[in-house]
Chains A and B, each alone.
Chain A
């Protein structure tokens, strides 16, 4: 099957998400669609899958123009999609999820026993270690993704769209996914692989389509291009070198945060056990691991958002176990949360109110329980300026800002708390390259001021570029504590799946100089 996309455009209000995009996908081919956040990759795929309707342009399959108005149409045409956030009903079983939407007549009955047997056969055919009767929510993320792939194939997909499929996988699982992709193309299926990760794109694809600001800026054969060339196309310039800098000759090193044999109950029966580590001043301690291995619970326990079952936490040598969020913040912790929209900002309020979320109780923003609006406004205006937040004024609601600017607001607010310890969870998730560079420089700047930074991220590149030391979490435990400049990605991957353990870096090296590129 051959897919052709001709001159697709789509805008939301004044934002042109896609402008005259054309490309084609041949049978048995892997086409990578590369671009940074907000380049229009996802919109394009949503149009192909029928979740959005294009303003103009057309799509043809095998030379025949087709009309795709809903996923129903695209499924019928043999297009399947695996979304970044899986489209699975977690309380239903694997088989129930797979047959969803395959009903032919209104009164169709289902015999789950037969369905399960049939699906078991299909799994056997593809060598999938899946049980059709298992409830999807109880499966690990990697397997949930396989369910998604099998679901698409079950519905007859000839073209498979994978949207950032590696974001949630371990290096090992990524290998396996690539293997699956190879087998699929061998069987004549075609794959569109959406990503912003260069290494993966270089490895898995046959051709690469590069998008920037909604436009196609390049189409190349993978074997004819280089990473540097791709970066240039992707962001329109070369990446700035990240100067990690700083010579720490004779520093007065001290422990800022100490976690001792921490046990925390997580959501859905998961928990973290016996986690111990120390964070020192002048260092960035990265926490690597696939999402859902206890990082969220760890951060919530340290910041007072989740109850500690046993073990202790010390901030500046003072015990803070199970203290309230307020008290812990007062002891010197600031926190850039994982999800800025859910936790970081009150989207329906203006920037002024968002900037004073944590210190509206203290002078100069209030005096004797009465707010001092003027001080807050001045503060907000200063922060907007200092942190290059692009907004009409400080009185616009946070929801009107772009993702990158929203994140800058959060970063600004947290850094301005002048904490000893900054906990940054996925600080650059879903923002453009400019904002990524800026936020990284802010974090490094804090480090050179002597702060301790706990950087949690599932992006290994980010962790390796910024951190001094790296902790690895797997299944609620720490499986590694290593030097960022000595460890290889393979070793990290092994630790992330609990295959290997390495605790060679439990306290900082005294001197280091480093220069690296993300």
Chain B
């Protein structure tokens, strides 16, 4: 076992760490847009799945990956419109609505996958996204290969982390955003439209989590597999808690996840002498440990508190 571990090539391990971390980062950062405004992003799983399918179907029928991305974004927005309406609008329980959307996403993707692509014997594929090397930078030893040979979604993701950090920490709107999450009633009395911010947060979550799904189906691979989200959304939700609801924390958590996943895949590929089911279990067990360690974590004080708006009082 130790020998197997020692023989892993560090550069390729780190490359696949980043590659595997990207969907987690997209989902977790996306989720933070609603979490920092006080709405639980436990619906990530459903959005990822529907995003993966929409991107695949869009790319397949149009022949363009960008149309695929657009389809994913639209699907994510549509799905999270339901979530926003129910959780932000009517105060329904977030886990309950999220589970409903999860079942809906499974039902929709399974049904339409079989209805649209199920007939042919051949596996339906699209041409997946290609990596773009950044001139000069990609020649830096080690870091160049690890960081500067991403596909377009990969670069976008790292910019997104920065953008979110800047938004929350450096802009007046970001301060208001955090205030909505910390104390919605106080934010309301300061004249901030609490429900509107929260709804927008949920829609942003929908957009980025759907892109995470798209990454799975048309960037990291070129096919759609039923339930291909494989609990990544729930893991991202756990990472958000572990990262104490900050973009930096989420980024670190996701990289850790990507690393564990990369290690697991490497071991599988090298034929480590452990049944592969146990290797596949690792991310799940890892999430359980994360949740056990972080418990409820320090979260925005107004997190999960329904704000009914003033006219309802």
Touch between chains A and B, by CB atoms below 8 Å: yes
Query: Interface residues, chain A, CB within 8 Å of chain B?
Result: 49, 51-53, 70-72, 75, 81, 83, 86-92, 96-97, 99-103, 106-110
Check A101 against B192 for contact (C-beta < 8 Å): yes
If the complex has contacts A52-B310, A109-B170, are A88 and B176 also in contact, measured as CB distance less than 8 A? no
Query: Which of B173, B175, B179, B192 is within 8 Å of A106, CB to CB?
Result: B173
Check B189 against A83 for contact (C-beta < 8 Å): yes
20 A-B pairs whose Cβ atoms sit less than 8 Å apart in the complex: A49-B189, A71-B188, A71-B191, A72-B191, A75-B190, A81-B189, A87-B186, A88-B183, A89-B178, A89-B182, A89-B302, A91-B182, A91-B300, A92-B175, A100-B176, A101-B187, A107-B173, A109-B170, A110-B170, A110-B175
Q: Which residues of B sit under 8 angstroms from A71, Cβ to Cβ?
A: 188-191
Cα–Cα, bound, A103→B189 (Å): 14
Distance from B120 Cβ to chain A, minimum over Cβ atoms (Å): 49
Distance from B21 Cβ to chain A, minimum over Cβ atoms (Å): 28
Check B191 against A51 for contact (C-beta < 8 Å): no
Check A99 against B182 for contact (C-beta < 8 Å): no
Instruction: Tell me the residues in window 20-55 of chain B with beta carbons closer than 8 Å to chain A beta carbons.
Output: none
Check B178 against A92 for contact (C-beta < 8 Å): yes
Distance from A68 Cβ to chain B, minimum over Cβ atoms (Å): 12
Query: Interface residues, chain B, CB within 8 Å of chain A?
Result: 170-173, 175-176, 178-179, 182-183, 185-192, 300-302, 310-311, 313
Cα–Cα, bound, A49→B191 (Å): 11
Query: Which of A75, A83, A100, A110 is within 8 Å of B179, CB to CB?
Result: A100
Q: Which residues of A sit under 8 angstroms from B170, Cβ to Cβ?
A: 109-110
Q: Which residues of B sit under 8 angstroms from A70, Cβ to Cβ?
A: 191, 310
Distance from B62 Cβ to chain A, minimum over Cβ atoms (Å): 34
Distance from B186 Cβ to chain A, minimum over Cβ atoms (Å): 4
Check B182 against A103 for contact (C-beta < 8 Å): no
Check B310 against A100 for contact (C-beta < 8 Å): no
Q: Which residues of B sit under 8 angstroms from A100, Cβ to Cβ?
A: 175-176, 179, 186-187, 190, 192
Cα–Cα, bound, A96→B168 (Å): 12
Check A109 against B172 for contact (C-beta < 8 Å): yes
Cα–Cα, bound, A51→B172 (Å): 23
Query: Which of A51, A53, A87 is within 8 Å of B183, CB to CB?
Result: A87
Interface pairs A-B: 5 shortest CB-CB: A101-B190, A72-B191, A89-B182, A87-B186, A103-B172
Check A107 against B187 for contact (C-beta < 8 Å): no
Q: Which residues of B sit under 8 angstroms from A108, Cβ to Cβ?
A: 171-173
Q: Which residues of A sit under 8 angstroms from B176, Cβ to Cβ?
A: 100-101, 103
Interface of chain B, main secondary structure: helix
Distance from B304 Cβ to chain A, minimum over Cβ atoms (Å): 15
If the complex has contacts A71-B191, A87-B190, are A110 and B171 also in contact, measured as CB distance less than 8 A? yes
Query: Closest A-chain residue to B310, C-beta based?
Result: A51
Check B301 against A91 for contact (C-beta < 8 Å): yes
Query: Closest B-chain residue to A53, C-beta based?
Result: B311
Cα–Cα, bound, A88→B188 (Å): 11
Query: Which of A81, A87, A91, A96 is within 8 Å of B185, CB to CB?
Result: A87
Check A88 against B191 for contact (C-beta < 8 Å): no
Cα–Cα, bound, A346→B45 (Å): 34
Cα–Cα, bound, A91→B311 (Å): 27
Number of A-B contacts (CB under 8 A): 78
Query: Closest A-chain residue to B184, C-beta based?
Result: A89
Distance from A8 Cβ to chain B, minimum over Cβ atoms (Å): 16
Check B173 against A89 for contact (C-beta < 8 Å): no
Cα–Cα, bound, A90→B299 (Å): 12
Q: Which residues of A sit under 8 angstroms from B192, Cβ to Cβ?
A: 100-101
Check B171 against A89 for contact (C-beta < 8 Å): no
Cα–Cα, bound, A91→B179 (Å): 9
Check B171 against A107 for contact (C-beta < 8 Å): yes
Query: Closest A-chain residue to B192, C-beta based?
Result: A101
Query: Closest A-chain residue to B302, C-beta based?
Result: A89
Distance from B213 Cβ to chain A, minimum over Cβ atoms (Å): 29
Q: Which residues of A sit under 8 angstroms from B188, Cβ to Cβ?
A: 51, 71
Cα–Cα, bound, A96→B183 (Å): 13
Query: Closest A-chain residue to B186, C-beta based?
Result: A87
Check A92 against B182 for contact (C-beta < 8 Å): yes
If the complex has contacts A89-B183, A100-B176, A101-B176, are A51 and B171 also in contact, measured as CB distance less than 8 A? no
Cα–Cα, bound, A185→B254 (Å): 56
A-B contact sample (6 more), CB < 8 A, given A52-B310, A100-B190, A101-B192: A49-B189, A89-B182, A90-B182, A90-B301, A92-B175, A107-B173
Cα–Cα, bound, A469→B182 (Å): 41
Query: Closest B-chain residue to A96, C-beta based?
Result: B175
Cα–Cα, bound, A459→B74 (Å): 57
Cα–Cα, bound, A97→B175 (Å): 9
Query: Closest B-chain residue to A81, C-beta based?
Result: B189
Distance from A478 Cβ to chain B, minimum over Cβ atoms (Å): 31
Q: Which residues of A sit under 8 angstroms from B172, Cβ to Cβ?
A: 99, 102-103, 108-110
Cα–Cα, bound, A89→B178 (Å): 9
Query: Closest A-chain residue to B190, C-beta based?
Result: A101
Check A99 against B175 for contact (C-beta < 8 Å): yes
Q: Which residues of B sit under 8 angstroms from A96, Cβ to Cβ?
A: 175, 179
Distance from A444 Cβ to chain B, minimum over Cβ atoms (Å): 36
Check A90 against B183 for contact (C-beta < 8 Å): yes
If the complex has contacts A89-B301, A100-B179, A101-B176, are A52 and B313 also in contact, measured as CB distance less than 8 A? yes
Q: Which residues of A sit under 8 angstroms from B179, Cβ to Cβ?
A: 89, 92, 96-97, 100
Cα–Cα, bound, A87→B182 (Å): 11
Q: Which residues of B sit under 8 angstroms from A107, Cβ to Cβ?
A: 171, 173
Cα–Cα, bound, A86→B178 (Å): 17
Check A89 against B189 for contact (C-beta < 8 Å): no
Q: Which residues of B sit under 8 angstroms from A83, Cβ to Cβ?
A: 189
User: Which of B171, B175, B185: most chain A CB closer than 10 A?
Assistant: B175
Check A88 against B186 for contact (C-beta < 8 Å): yes
Q: Which residues of A sit under 8 angstroms from B187, Cβ to Cβ?
A: 89, 100-101
Distance from B275 Cβ to chain A, minimum over Cβ atoms (Å): 44
Query: Closest B-chain residue to A51, C-beta based?
Result: B310
Distance from A464 Cβ to chain B, minimum over Cβ atoms (Å): 34
If the complex has contacts A89-B182, A90-B301, A91-B300, are A75 and B191 also in contact, measured as CB distance less than 8 A? yes
Distance from B308 Cβ to chain A, minimum over Cβ atoms (Å): 13
User: Which of B187, B190, B192: most chain A CB closer than 10 A?
Assistant: B190
Query: Which of A81, A87, A99, A103 is within 8 Å of B173, CB to CB?
Result: A103
Q: Which residues of B sit under 8 angstroms from A97, Cβ to Cβ?
A: 179
Distance from A366 Cβ to chain B, minimum over Cβ atoms (Å): 31
Cα–Cα, bound, A126→B179 (Å): 26
Check B301 against A109 for contact (C-beta < 8 Å): no
Distance from B285 Cβ to chain A, minimum over Cβ atoms (Å): 32
Q: Which residues of B sit under 8 angstroms from A109, Cβ to Cβ?
A: 170-172
Cα–Cα, bound, A168→B310 (Å): 25
Query: Closest B-chain residue to A108, C-beta based?
Result: B172
Cα–Cα, bound, A231→B173 (Å): 48
Query: Closest B-chain residue to A155, C-beta based?
Result: B190
Q: Which residues of B sit under 8 angstroms from A88, Cβ to Cβ?
A: 183, 186
Q: Which residues of B sit under 8 angstroms from A86, Cβ to Cβ?
A: 186
Check B175 against A87 for contact (C-beta < 8 Å): no
Cα–Cα, bound, A99→B187 (Å): 11
Distance from A252 Cβ to chain B, minimum over Cβ atoms (Å): 50
Q: Which residues of B sit under 8 angstroms from A75, Cβ to Cβ?
A: 190-191
Q: Which residues of A sit under 8 angstroms from B300, Cβ to Cβ?
A: 91
Cα–Cα, bound, A144→B313 (Å): 26
